[in-house]
Amino acid sequence: MNKVILKKAQLFLFSLGYGKIKSFKEIKEGRNSQVYKLRVDQNNLVLKIYKDKSKLRIKREKLFYEYLLEIKTNKVVRPIGFSINLNIALYPFIDGGKIKKISKNHIRELFNFLNQINQKKGSIKLPLAVDGIKNRKDHIKLCEEKIKQMKRVKPDSLIKKDFSFFLKDKIIPKFIEVKENFIKNDVFTLHKTKLSQNDMVVSPSDFGFHNIIKSKKNLFFLDFEYAGLDDPIKLICDFYSQPEQSLTLLQKKMFITNIFFKKHSLKQLELNTKIFLPFHKLKWCCIMLKEFKNETNKSDIKKFKLKTKIMKNQLSKAKIYFNKNFENK
């Protein structure tokens, strides 16, 4: 934590009635935020620093937590405070860890949470989720847009040339193939494409076991920077596609047949999921490669080496994911 961030964090803590920060340790750094464990007074706290200058992520997460607290869900921690101005949030520290082996009970906990946030309606109106779907044709548009963003990357280094080859040789041809099959089958002659608000669900959006902390017998859900209203098909596809978790066929069946989706035809859910899942898997390939979109400062050798290492790692993961889902069938 640099001095500027530390000073901001300390001022925020003082405003909430806390004392001086005794110690801090970075516990997570993602593309969108940095997360620190703090020791303040006799408390262990979590400080989340949002990286986007627009402050849209913190505003959305704050709004969604307000919704969750209004409907009195017991599946999330209660935030201590948000500072939109400083772009930081403070949470109590939960002593726990990630789920290493997914069980039937864990799947049940997932859809219990989904049931809870959808059955209890609060007064807070939620926006469309980030990359949310309100017309089923947008599933394809979303994938196409992610690929277009990747095509803008200049192959100005060896690793970026490797990335560019993977994009042109694997991802783009597969997208064209999947889209042509979609058009040829003309699936939208069978049902409507535009969704009403009643057709949508309240979705955490970036939903999966990577955003859950297991503490003793309890699961706590977190990270709601993308949350909002969405197509249930997208929720299912993203849950199935999530690169950081591996689900069995039985676990996928458990998820799609749970009571949360009871107002939807199971046959239609399974059909739509089958249709759109390949687009979302390609989308996730692009999400894993987001690091390539940012410009690389070659003058700072240390940062350049670190970024190159990250890009190599992400490209390797994307290749493995692509092969698993499209070539090793």
- The pLDDT of residue 38: 94
Mean pLDDT of 159-182: 95
Q: Phi first, then psi: give them for residue 307, nearest 5 degrees.
A: -65, -40
pLDDT level of residue 245 (50, 70, 90 thresholds): confident
Q: What is the dihedral of CA 245, 261, 136, 211, to 10 degrees?
A: -30
pLDDT level of residue 220 (50, 70, 90 thresholds): very high
- The pLDDT of residue 188: 57
- Position 190 pLDDT exceeds 50: no
Q: How far does CA 225 lie from the centroid of its chain? A: 8
How far apart CA 135 and CA 168 sit, in angstroms, is 28
- Position 171 pLDDT exceeds 80: yes
- Position 186 pLDDT exceeds 70: no
CA of 263: how far to CAs of 72, 203, 257, 274, in Å?
Answer: 24, 16, 11, 19
Task: Look at the domain 1-93 and name its fold.
Answer: Phosphorylase Kinase; domain 1 (3.30.200)
Q: What is the pTM of this model?
A: 0.90
- Position 215 pLDDT exceeds 70: yes
The domain segmentation of the chain, as residue ranges, is 1-93, 138-190+287-327
Residue pair 326/281 in contact (Cβ under 8 Å)? The answer is: yes
- The pLDDT of residue 89: 96
pLDDT in tens, 295-316: 766 677 888 888 899 999 999 9
Pairing of strands 228-230, 33-40: unpaired
In this structure, the number of other CB atoms found within 10 A of the CB of residue 318 comes to 23
Q: Which of 54-58, 234-238, 253-257, 272-276 has the lowest mean pLDDT?
A: 253-257
In this structure, the number of other CB atoms found within 10 A of the CB of residue 66 comes to 15
- The pLDDT of residue 189: 54
